[in-house]
Amino acid sequence: MSLRRTKIVATIGPASSSPEVLEQLILAGLNVARLNFSHGTPAEHRERAELIRSIAAKHGRYVALLGDLQGPKIRIARFANKRIQLKEGDNFTFSTTHPKDQGNQDIVCIDYPDLVTDCKVGDELLLDDGLIQMRVESVSADSLHCRVLVGGPLSDHKGINRRGGGLTAPALTDKDKQDIRLAAELNLDYLAVSFPRDAADMNLARRLRDEAGSTAWLVSKIERAEAVMDDDTLHSLIDASDAVMVARGDLAVEIGDAELVGIQKKIIAAARHRNKAVITATQMMESMIHNPMPTRAEVSDVANAALDYTDAVMLSAETAAGSYPVEAVKAMDRVCLGAEKNPIMRRSMHRLGQQFERWDESIAMAAMYTANHFPGIKAIISLTESGYTPLVMSRIRSSMPIYAFAPSRETQARVALFRGVYTIPFDPSDYPVDQVSQAAVDELVKRNVVTEGDWVILTKGDSYHTVGGTNSMKLLRVGDHHQ
């Protein structure tokens, strides 16, 4: 059985909250469970988190939990009759003073007063992820008067974007601040920040996370045009994050869908180059909300993200609210394994001509170079406290499995997101110093990963409980006695 290197993130919602379905998702290969704070109550998220952890433990699986903050998605209020139908050429008004539940064919309240001051005549507004498009014809003190360019049905609470971005909403709302405290209480492994504009938004999220007492790694969702306008902004945003998500829904609306594929590839490459994990998200198998099989185009999309070396591919409504949540995870698993058979997946430029920033990064790179060039090697063992060394190793293209031998629950779950990295619970302090290497190799033998005569690479630090302490690499032959 070949191990899948590309990881699968799936959103947990009404279609996937029962113990039976969660168990099937975990057995089908779920690596990271996403709790979407835009929906559901704190009690529901708490119950889901506990269930996922207990079912995963029962099967000896390691599933990371990712909380996704709602962020300042700008939305319209409500219609008196729930929905309207707009046609090309219709006039339509967004007003900050119209009653919130009295929208009609001509006007709706907007929950975000700055929209009026942020927009000018000629701007294009996109609603419901770009399905409806309008142009601003005139602006008054409390209203935007628009003409419909592309019509369709419009219902309560749909989101609004402006083509080209530039809406000024801060990235963290009062609800987000409450949800950061919930993430701390639930011991979530990752926390995704919606609509960050720049590094400052992520630094604020980090401060709030620390104040709440959470150790979750922060994922910046790249979904604003401003975030990808120039390389400096993108790189500083990535540097201020622990991982990034290519959030293709809002991003495509703001930059235009024709630009999206190139930007996706650019973000994945930039994140990997900067030693960060990266998730590719939105509509990856959208048709599976209603169908048991994906389309050819969706298969191609998921496979291409895997070929780009994304750490993970993500399912949203497919597993949260769709009719076929388990089939969607199985389809993703199958497509990723197929893509990973391609020989291009093993070729690496190995950061030639680059200098390394840290000694543990240097050891990680030396290990990967050796693994890719010494034919007898079958596995890499990384004795790791924080998960950083296996993260850096997994930035290099390789088909070599990387085993993160970690003592803490946090690290065991966290590495579930990293491409080609697998958890083995292991505490070096349980063994005399001269028996640690042998004990680590024995763990792989016990799991039938390696047999006598195979070689493994082992990286470790002189002190086992120091973050950033990896300073040595050994080549060990299975069957020899090791100290």
CB 121 within 8 A of CB 136: yes
**Nearest of 53, 45, 39 to residue 182 by alpha carbon:** 45
Compute CA distances 303 → 262, 331, 335, 418, whole Å. Answer: 15, 11, 6, 17
Joined tokens for residue 424: 């083995």
Of 18, 7, 1, the C-alpha closest to 61 is: 7
The pairing of strands 312-315 and 377-383 is unpaired
- At 461, which helix (H) or strand (E)? strand 455-461
Buried/exposed 66-80: b ≥16 CB within 10 Å, e otherwise? bbbbbbbbbebbbbe
Cβ–Cβ < 8 Å for 339, 306: yes
Let me know if 221 is a catalytic residue: yes
Clarify whether 120 is annotated catalytic.
Answer: no
Cα 44 off chain centre by: 21
Q: What angle do CA 483, 421, 267 make, to 5 degrees?
A: 135
Annotation says 248 is catalytic: no
DSSP structure class, residue 2: P
How many CB atoms are closer than 10 A to CB 138?
11
Q: Which of 294, 283, 291, 296 is nearest to 332 (CA)?
A: 294
Do 267 and 222 meet the contact criterion of CB atoms below 8 Å apart? yes
Name the catalytic one among 7, 221, 224, 397: 221
User: Which residue among the candidates 282, 310, 319, 423 is catalytic per the annotation?
Assistant: 282
H or E segment and range at residue 42? helix 42-58
Instruction: Give me the catalytic one of 46, 75, 265, 474.
Output: 75
Rg of the chain, C-alpha, whole Å = 24
Following DSSP, what letter does each residue of 296-330 receive, concatenated? HHHHHHHHHHHHTT-SEEEESHHHHT-S-HHHHHH
Beta bridge partners of 152: 86
What gap in Å lies between CA 463 and CA 460, rounded to an integer? 8
CA distance 393 to 402: 8
Helices (H), 73-193: 114-118, 174-185
H or E segment to which residue 231 belongs? helix 231-239
List 4, 5, 7, 34, catalytic entry: 34
385: number of Cβ within 10 Å:
21
Interacting residues of 292 by C-beta distance below 8 A, sequence separation 6+: 323, 324, 327
347 is catalytic: no
Which active-site residues does the annotation give?
A: 34, 75, 221, 282
